Amino acid sequence: MRKIWSLLLVLVIVSGCSWFKMSKDTYSTKLGEWIGKNAQLLYDKWGLPQHTTPVDANTYILTYFASEDEPIDGNLEPYADDLSYDAMSVPNYGLPIAEPLYYCKTSFVVRNNIIVDYNFNGDDCY
């Protein structure tokens, strides 16, 4: 019976990890569909970006940033314990602890008004 529970636990952990990777892959696939499309279509769908960075006369980067108090996918701690550095921990000195912030920063590279590349980071990119 103990082996069955251990096996079930391993399966749950493995499926959770593969789901997280699948979610990131799904978002990447979704963004990849923008490659080769006119930037105006992106504006129509996503609205105006929070930041536009010119690279040269024909190239610029559009950056969209979304943040929420709760994750879109319901996963409350997607990166729990990924980074654990005791030297970087800061005591709260009795002050209230800030609510967690879940975010996604997505950037598109636009050249001659055509989307040519993308990048994203964050713990809530779905």
Query: What's the pLDDT at 14?
Result: 46
Residue 82 lies in a domain: no
Instruction: Kindly state whether residue 113 falls inside one of the protein's structural domains.
Output: yes
Q: For residue 99, what pLDDT is reported?
A: 65
Give, as one character, the DSSP assignment of residue 87: G
Which of 16-20, 62-66, 86-90: highest mean pLDDT? 62-66
Q: What is the domain range of residue 36?
A: 2-75+92-122
CA distance 106 to 63: 6
Within a domain: 10? yes
26 in any annotated domain: yes
* Cα–Cα distance for residue pair 15/38, rounded to 1 Å: 37
Our count of domains for the chain comes to 1
CATH label of the domain that carries residue 17: 3.30.1450
Residue 86 in domain: no
**Residue 15 in domain:** yes
Is residue 85 in some structural domain? Answer: no
Q: What is the pLDDT of residues 31-68, one digit of tens each?
A: 999 999 999 999 999 999 999 999 999 999 999 998 87
pLDDT digits (tens, 9 = 90+) for 106-124: 999 999 999 999 999 887 7
In a 13 Å sphere around the CA of 75, the CA atoms on its Cβ side amount to 15
Residue 38 in any domain: the answer is: yes
